[in-house]
Amino acid sequence: MLQMVRLILLALVLHICVCGAADTNSQRYEYRELHSRDGIGKFYMGREIAHVMGHQAADWLERPERDEEEHTQVLIETLPVRQGMVVADIGAGTGYFARRLAEKVGARGKILGVDIQPEMLDILTNKMAELGITNVIPILGSITNPNLPASSVDLALMVDVYHEFSHPFEMTEELCKALKAGGQLVFVEFRGEDPNVPIKLLHKMTEAQVRREMSVHNLKWSQTRTNLPRQHIIIFEKPRA
């Protein structure tokens, strides 16, 4: 009898926990039947989340004109990355930025190339092997977790990726856990404020929206750089104490 009572109480506790998590999730996100064809019908803080670019479009990441259009080398030079750092490239894709950052962190540093698509990680791994780069580590993440060790990352970089997160709150929470104290979270997003940037609306973000969404996390805005032709670089820092 006592065992039966314990089982009933345990079931009640689990029911409360699951319902509480569901309630929190339903309050955090909004779902609309009428939405953009470029979005998934899920909204976070008023912003519709965009569809993920699949591995089938990997060639677009490696297009020859990319540096001319986006000044990717300027971005690499702008990032506060130094020798010996551990940098997480979130949504690493084909490794376009990972292989460039690998040289910047040097032999003592590491690049953690995170992606949720195994096919992208296969492309990344093959490219690193082809180039003889050994300090890029592929990591398979999930839609809610980049699967990075706690307090292990000096800088986490997201280039045109965050707006596609289906669970932006959960992913950012996990990224905050992965950052070291004083570590930086860097957003590179096409400027939503500029109608002349030739990118679909849902694949752009305003600085105000990024800062709004980060305001609920243990992060402090550090600076916004506007030295790229189409994107802004928005940097946040995890407090040291």
Q: For the chain, give every domain's residue range.
A: 71-237
pLDDT, residue 144, reads 98
127 is written with which tokens? 């490219």
| Gap between the Cα atoms of 100 and 238, Å rounded | 25
> Which fold does the domain 71-237 belong to in CATH?
Rossmann fold (3.40.50)
Query: Which residue's structure tokens are 């690499």?
Result: 76
pLDDT, residue 39, reads 97
Give the three-state DSSP class for 64: coil
Pairing of strands 136-140, 110-115: parallel
104 is written with which tokens? 């910047």
pLDDT, residue 10, reads 38
| Gap between the Cα atoms of 61 and 29, Å rounded | 30
pLDDT, residue 241, reads 76
Q: What is the pLDDT of residues 95-127, one digit of tens each?
A: 999 999 999 999 999 999 999 999 999 999 999
| 198, 65 contact by CB (below 8 A) | no
215 is written with which tokens? 């305001």
pLDDT, residue 54, reads 85
The low-confidence residues of the chain, meaning pLDDT below 50, are 1-23
